[in-house]
Amino acid sequence: MEIVNAVSKVRFASSAPQHVHLARGQALRVNLICMEAGQKDRAAEGPCAYYVVAGSASLTTGGSASMTAGGAGKQAHFLPAGHVAHLDAGEGHTLSNAGEGRLICLMFRPAK
């Protein structure tokens, strides 16, 4: 078992979203994603889940990770604080800060 104080690991940078490793077990890894207003993360694929701790996120889905930069079939989902989004294996998506303040999310994915 591993216990981590996630609040003490929060960090932001104006240059890019921050991915902070929190824990990794045999089956699961947990990261913090911290974004300033207007920031957008790199495209990714599921399986994974996001929990919005503070702020509000936009999760754009549709296609593979290589296709999430734009195009037809995209759908944006608004996630305010306290909401969880789960994405299935191969589900392409992009996470961005949808608010005017800072965004803090927990990301859960297989350890691989």
pLDDT > 70? residue 89: yes
For the record, the structure tokens of 87 come out as 């994405």
Three-class secondary structure of residue 64 per DSSP: coil
Q: Does domain 16-110 have CATH number 2.60.120.10?
A: yes
pLDDT given at position 67: 47
Record the pTM. Answer: 0.89
Distance, CA of 41 to CA of 24 (rounded, Å): 21
- Going from N- to C-terminal start, the domains of the chain cover 16-110
